[in-house]
Structure 1
């Protein structure tokens, strides 16, 4: 299910969105807005989770795992 809404955006943001659509990077204006809102939702959830973790402190059951993982070499560049 979806709902149609109207939003007023500054000209420079509309130009940016239209540039993404015009370049083929996105299918439509709606796709750009959906992607941006999904990213913002994930950011808000992550911020909430980080706040919860900061209040609760480290998990003693996972502390050893974190130490072990930090000492392991990583093949990530």
Structure 2
């Protein structure tokens, strides 16, 4: 998937424990773990906003777009 989740990195950089974040956001530690591993199909904007609020970061600090091999070329062909 071209979207990667960097939540574990941001947590480590800020020395925040998953348990603290999960409690603040209002989700289970299990769901937060799935999000950290990138094993979710989506995340609510409300959840993302609470994460960013607690970690004092932007959504782009947590989520990154990394195109898969050949993906850029295919999309530019469609546009032209």
For Structure 1 versus Structure 2, the TM-score category normalised by the shorter chain is 0.3 to 0.5
Normalised by the length of structure 1, the TM-score is 0.36
Query: Greater relative contact order: 1 or 2 (C-alpha under 8 angstroms, separation 6 or more)?
Result: 2
- Rg (Cα) greater in structure: 1
Relative to total residues, which structure has the larger helix share, 1 or 2? 1
